Amino acid sequence: MSLLTTPLDALHRELGARMVPFAGYEMPVQYPAGIIREHEHTREQAGLFDVSHMGQVVIEGPGTAALLERLVPADVQGLAANGQTYALLTNEEGGVRDDLIITRWSEERFFLVVNAACKAEDLAYLEASLAGQKLTVLDDRALLALQGPAARAVLSALAPDLARMPFLRGRETEIEGATCYVTCSGYTGEDGFELSVPAASAEAVARRLLAAPSVAPAGLGARDSLRLEAGLCLYGHELDAETNVVDAGLYWSVGKARRPGGEREGGFPGANAVFHRKAEGPAQRRVGLRVEGRRPVRDGQPLFANSGEEVGVITSACYGPSAGGPIAMGYVAAAYSDNATPLEAEARGKRLPVTVAPMPFIPQRYYRG
Amino acid sequence: MSQAPEELSYARSHEWARLEEDGTVTVGISDHAQDALGDVVFVELPEDGAELAAGDEAGVVESVKAASDIYAPIGGTVIATNGALEETPETVNADPYNDGWFFRLKPTDTAELEQLLDAAAYRQHCSEDS
C-alpha cells in the first residue's frame, strides 16, 4: 500500500525533514536540528508541527450532543459553543477504542479530531452509531500545531482575535486569507494552538508561521518526547481496548454529569465497568517513571519490585530533554504505584533502577485567561 | 551527505577502525551511523581488558528513539575506552571520527583490517543501505 502524504509534504522535504511511515502517512520524524533541539525549542519558544495525518470529522444534526454522549463519557451536552473537551470512545468492557478531542462548533455541529492510526475504525464506528447524523470527513484540510510560550504572540500577530483565547476554546479566523478553525490546545503541555487549515492554504500558513524568528519546525520525534514529559497518553501505548479508563487515570474525563448520581449518569459503553472499577479501585495504575542514570528504557520492557516479582510494564519511554534524563510511563500493580516507589526495569538483559514519579514531568503552562 | 574519511576502514555494521602509529586500533561509529541514529543519549562501552573477536558485541549506542549494538570491527583486547561519552554522549553526533571515539584495541591480527571496507566501498554500502 502506498503511503499518503500531507499538504505540507513538499515543505517538509525542502526543510530537510527525515520522513518516516506513520499510520499510513509519510511524516517528518525530525528536521536537521534533531529531536532534542526541536523539543527544547518548543519549550523555549515555539515549534510548528504537521499533524495533518490525524482525522478531522464534523458531525451535525439535531440531537448530536446527546448521541455523542452515547459513545463517550465526556460532558458533551455541557459544552459551550466553541468549547472543547478531551474524550474517550469507550468499549463495553470499559476499555478505550480511541481518544479524541471534541469541539462544539455550534449547537448541533461538532468537530472531532481522532488519532491517525484509529481513523478508519473510528469513522466506521461513528457512521454506524450515528446513522441519522450528517458525518463529514475533512480530508481537504491540514492540521497544524503551533506550540510553545511564543505561540500566542506569533499567532496573534496574524489573527488578533486569538490573543486572549484560553485553553480548550476555539474560533474561526482568517490567516493568510484562509478561513481556519483554531483551538487553544495541543499535546506538549505548553500554551499553543491547533489550526485546521484548508489544504490549499496549508503551506502558505505554515511558511508564514515559520517566518517568525521564534518558530522552528518540529517533527513527530519531538512531539512524542514533549507529550511524554507532559504526562499525556498515546493511544496504542497507554490506551487500548483492554485498558480500563480508571486504570489509565482518565476518570477525570468522565463528565461530572455522567458519573454516578449525576443528572445524565452513565449511558456510554462500558459505564458499569468503569464505575465498578472506580468503586473497587484499580488493580493497576498508569504511573510516571524516572530512570536512574542515563541509559534509557523502552516501551514493552517489564518492571520488577525489589522482591523480584514482575509488577508492571513500560508503555512509553524517551530521553526527556527538559526532564533532564530518561523518563517513562507504564502500568504497575496498584500496591507499587505510590510516588517514590523504587522499581527495576529490565532493559536489554540489565536491571535498571527506576522510581515512580509524579506526572507531568514538567509543569503544564496552559493559558487559562 | 555524510562523511567517510579516506584513511579509515569500515565495517558493514557502520563502525570505523583507525590503525594508530603505535599499532593500536581506535574504533567508533561512522558519520552515516550517527546521522541515522539521531541524537545519541547513552553509550555503553566494553570493559577494559575485554577480549573481542571480530563481529563480537562490544557495546550499545542509544539514541532518542532507538538502541543499536556496536560490534568489534576486528579482534583484539580493549585497552582504552572513551569515558567522556558517559557524560557527553552527544559528542558521538558532533564529532564521530575524533572526540566521539568509542574504544581502542590491541589487535589480535592487524591483517583483519583488510577484511573491512575502504572509504569508497563504505560510501557505496551506505548508499545501498538507504
Nine-digit cell string for A141: 484540510
Which residues on A lie below 8 Å from B93 (Cβ)? 34
A34 close to B (CB below 8 A): yes
Q: Which residues of B touch A (CB under 8 A)?
A: 38-39, 41-42, 44, 60, 62, 64-65, 67, 86, 89-90, 93
Residue A1: predicted pLDDT: 64
Name the grid cell of A340. Answer: 517514590
Task: Kindly calculate the radius of gyration of chain B based on its CA atoms and give it in whole angstroms.
Answer: 13
Q: What predicted TM-score, i.e. pTM, was given to this entire model?
A: 0.95
Task: Give the β-pairing of A215-217 and A46-50.
Answer: parallel
pLDDT tens for A180-216 read 999 999 999 999 999 999 999 999 999 999 999 999 9
Q: How far apart are CA A148 and CA A192, in angstroms?
A: 6
Rounded Cα distance, A136 and A110, in Å: 10
Residue A317 has pLDDT above 90, yes or no: yes
Beta bridge partners of B5: none
Q: Indicate if the pLDDT at residue A9 is higher than 80.
A: yes
Residues of A in contact with B84 (CB under 8 A): none
Tally of helices (H runs) and strands (E runs) in chain B: 4, 9
Structural domain count of chain B: 1
Give me the CATH number covering residue B39.
2.40.50.100
Peptide bond into A360 cis (omega under 30): yes
Q: Give one word for B68, left, alpha or beta, with left for phi > 0 and alpha for psi -120 to 50.
A: beta
**Quick check: is B123 in a domain?**
no
Quick check: is B117 in a domain?
no
Helix pair A199-210, A151-158: axis angle to 10 deg = 120
CA distances from A253 to A86, A127, A156, A232, A366 (A): 7, 23, 30, 13, 17
The whole-chain average pLDDT of chain A stands at: 97
Mark B65-74 as b/e (b = at least 16 C-beta within 10 Å): bebbebbbbb
Q: Are A354 and A303 in contact (CB under 8 A)?
A: yes
Identify the closest residue of chain B to A320 by CA–CA distance: B64
Q: Are B70 and B89 in contact (CB under 8 A)?
A: no
Euclidean distance between CA atoms B60 and B70, whole angstroms = 5
**Backbone torsions φ then ψ of A224, nearest 5 degrees:** -70, -45
Q: Name the minimum distance, in Å, from the CA of A115 to any CA of chain B.
A: 21
Facing residue for A221 by CB, picked from B42, B65, B89: B65
- Min Cα separation B62/chain A (Å): 7
Asked if A320 has any chain B CB less than 8 Å from its own CB, the reply is no
What CA–CA distance (Å, rounded) separates A203 from A279? 50
Specify if B2 maps to a domain: no
- Starting at the edge strand that comes first in sequence, how are the strands of the sheet with A96-106 ordered? A84-90, A96-106, A109-114, A55-60, A134-137
Q: Is residue B130 situated within a structural domain?
A: no
The per-residue pLDDT for range B52-107, each reduced to its tens digit, is 999 999 999 999 978 899 999 999 999 999 999 999 999 999 999 999 999 999 99
Edge-first strand listing for the sheet containing B67-71: B40-44, B57-63, B67-71
CB distance from A294 to chain B under 8 Å? yes
Q: Decide: A30 and B38 in contact? Cβ < 8 Å.
A: yes
CB-CB: which of A37, A221, A296 is closest to B41? A296
Domain membership of residue B91 as a residue range: 9-112
* pLDDT for B1: 63
The predicted-structure confidence for A44-97, as pLDDT tens digits, reads as follows: 999 999 999 999 999 999 999 999 999 999 999 999 999 999 999 999 999 999
> B108 pLDDT exceeds 60?
yes
Is B122 contained in some domain? no
| DSSP E strand stretches across chain B | 9-10, 15-19, 25-29, 40-44, 51-52, 57-63, 67-71, 76-81, 103-107
pLDDT of B130 > 60? The answer is no
Q: Cβ contacts (< 8 Å) between A296 and chain B: which residues?
A: 41-42, 62, 67
The half-sphere exposure of A336 on its side-chain side, counting CA atoms within 13 A, is 22
> Is there a domain that residue B74 lies in?
yes
* Average pLDDT, integer, range A335-349: 94
